[in-house]
Amino acid sequence: MTNRSVLVTGSSRGIGRAVAEAFASAGDRVAIHHRASPKLAADLLASLPGTGHTVVQADLADPGAVRSMVDTAAERLGGLDVLVNNAANYSAHPITEVSYEQWQAAWQSTVGVNLIGSANVTWCAVRHMIAGGGGRIVNVSSRGAFRGEPNQPAYGASKAGLNAFGQSLAKALAPHNISVAAVAPGFVETDMAAGHLQGAGGEAIRAQSPFGRVARPDEIASAVLFLASPQAEWASGAILDLNGASYLRT
C-alpha cells in the first residue's frame, strides 16, 4: 500500500482508465481527469478500490482550466506525488486530402492538448511536487513519435515533442527529486483505436507485431506504475517502447 496522490489526465476511458485502476489497486489516491465524460468518470470513481479518489474536469487546451483542475486535484488529494500525462487528441488529416482550414484545426487541437496541454498540466503539478519534496511524472507517448504518422502527422509530432519535453524536464527536475519518464505504446485495445482494429485493417495492424496482437490497456498501466515507483528513479529520461516488437528503433 503506497498511499500516494496521483493525477491521471484523460482517465475516464482507455489507457488512462487502466492506469487509474492500477494506482488505486496499489493503494494510491487517484484524481480521475476528464474533459467531457462525467458519466464515465463517475462510473470509474465508483468502481475503484480504496478511498480518497476524486474526479476533476478541464479542457486541457484551456490554460486557466488546467491550473484550476490541477490545484483542485492537489487540494482534494492532500498534495500531488505522481502525474501521468495521458490525455490526447487523435484525428486523421492527411496533408494531400484536407483543406488548409482543416489542416490548421487539426494541428491546433492536437498539439494544443497533447503537447501544450500536457506542458501546462506539468507546470502546475510541479509546484505541488516541489512543495511535497518530490514526485514522479510519466508521459504517455506513442510509437508514432518515432516511426511517423502519415495520416495523423500532428499526433506524431505532438508525441515526439512530448518526448523531448520530458527529457528536458528529467534534467531540470532531478535536483527537486522529481523523475520524468515516458511509455511509447503502439496500438492498444481502446475506444480510440476501435475503428482501426476492425475488419481487414485490424488484421494488418495485429500482424505488425510478431505476437500477432495489439497491447491490452493493463499492460501499459503496469509499465506506468513501475516508472512511477520509488524503484524507478534511475529511469528518469527514459522512453520505454511498448509495441510488441512491431517497430524497433535504434
Angle at 98 between CA 93 and CA 103, to 5 degrees: 65
Within 105-177, strands assigned E span: 135-140
Residue 247 lies in a domain: no
Residue 250 lies in a domain: no
The set of residues, in sequence order, having a beta carbon less than 8 Å from that of 88 and lying 6+ positions away, is 10, 113, 114, 140, 155, 158, 159
Residue 37 lies in a domain: yes
The per-residue pLDDT for 147 is 96
φ, ψ at 166 (rounded to 5°): -65, -40
| Burial track 121-156 (b if 16+ CB lie within 10 A, e otherwise) | bbebbbebbeebeebbbbbbbbbbbbeebeebbbbb
Q: Which of 90, 100, 155, 247 is catalytic?
A: 155
The per-residue pLDDT for 196 is 81
The per-residue pLDDT for 198 is 86
Q: Is 155 a catalytic residue?
A: yes
pLDDT by residue for the chain (250 residues), tens only, comes to 579 999 999 999 999 999 999 999 999 999 999 999 999 999 999 999 999 999 999 999 999 999 999 999 999 999 999 999 999 999 999 999 999 999 999 999 999 999 999 999 999 999 999 999 999 999 999 999 999 999 999 999 999 999 999 999 999 999 999 999 999 999 999 887 888 888 788 999 999 999 999 999 999 999 999 999 999 999 999 999 999 999 999 8
Measure Cα distances from 107 to 115, 119, 120 in Å.
11, 16, 17
Split into its structural domains, the chain has a count of 1
Grid coordinates in use for 56?
476533476
Pairing of strands 54-57, 29-34: parallel
Residue 249 lies in a domain: no
Residue 212 lies in a domain: yes
Axis-axis angle for helices 14-25, 217-227 (nearest 10) = 50
Nearest one of 79, 166, 73, 54 to 129, comparing CA atoms: 79
CATH of the domain at 88: 3.40.50.720
Q: Which domain holds residue 23?
A: 5-242
Residue 59 lies in a domain: yes
Residue 110 lies in a domain: yes
Q: How many C-beta atoms surround the C-beta of residue 227 within 10 A?
A: 25
φ, ψ at 82 (rounded to 5°): -135, 135
Contact 249, 212 (CB under 8 A): no
Residue 70 lies in a domain: yes
